[in-house]
């Protein structure tokens, strides 16, 4: 999308980013994650988290409206089982009505460029194994499945696959 702006999140974006999360989870994970978990997310708690973590996020804005966000870290704090990676995209979400318009690709590219500037070389993104739409996106972006693990959502464990990306200038 031509008029997409990728920028650092501010604390004032916390509510909007939380709404993006809730909307995208209901669409992307319906049929994968239990409906009661998707339909009863604690918005206020999620807003509180976003307010604490906002410096680690970027947002995608189209015509002044936040339509997506990406959370990434320049370390291996979430993927100890993959000791050779040094950074991770923890989450990347785009509102369902904005999907397949290049917004996710722009956020992905922004995050990778920023991580390269920080001399990072190998990145991972975890995706629910049954989230075929997400998996297709990560494959198109050049990721290769490098492992599997369990993640806990609600009161259940779900399988995730990890996509490895070489982001160094090689």
Report the C-alpha gap between 54 and 71 in whole angstroms: 9
Residue carrying the six token digits 């995050």: 111
How much is the CA Rg of the chain, to the nearest whole Å? 15
Return d(Cα 170, Cα 154) in angstroms, integer.
40
Cβ atoms of 76 and 83 closer than 8 Å: yes
Q: Which architecture characterizes domain 4-166 according to CATH?
A: 3-Layer(aba) Sandwich (3.40)
pLDDT in tens, 36-48: 999 999 999 999 9
Of the candidates 71, 95, 97, the one whose C-alpha atom is nearest the C-alpha of residue 20 is: 95
- Report which of residues 170 and 86 the model is more confident about: 86
Domain residue ranges of the chain, discontinuous segments joined by +: 4-166
pLDDT at 54: 87
């Amino acid at each position: 999308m031509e008029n997409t702006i990728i920028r650092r999140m501010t604390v004032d974006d916390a509510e909007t980013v939380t709404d993006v999360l809730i909307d995208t989870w209901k669409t992307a994970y319906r049929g994968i994650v239990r409906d009661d978990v998707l339909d009863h997310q604690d918005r206020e708690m999620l807003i509180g988290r976003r307010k604490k973590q906002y410096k680690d996020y970027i947002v995608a804005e189209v015509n002044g409206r936040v339509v997506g966000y990406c959370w990434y870290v320049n370390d291996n704090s979430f993927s100890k089982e993959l000791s050779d990676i040094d950074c991770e995209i923890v989450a990347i979400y785009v509102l369902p009505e904005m999907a397949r318009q290049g917004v996710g690709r722009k956020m992905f590219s922004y995050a990778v460029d920023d991580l390269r500037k920080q001399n990072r070389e190998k990145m991972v993104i975890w995706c629910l194994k049954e989230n075929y739409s997400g998996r297709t996106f990560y494959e198109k972006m050049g990721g290769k499945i490098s492992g599997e693990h369990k993640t806990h959502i609600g009161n259940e464990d779900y399988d995730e696959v990890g996509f490895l990306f070489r982001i160094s200038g090689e």
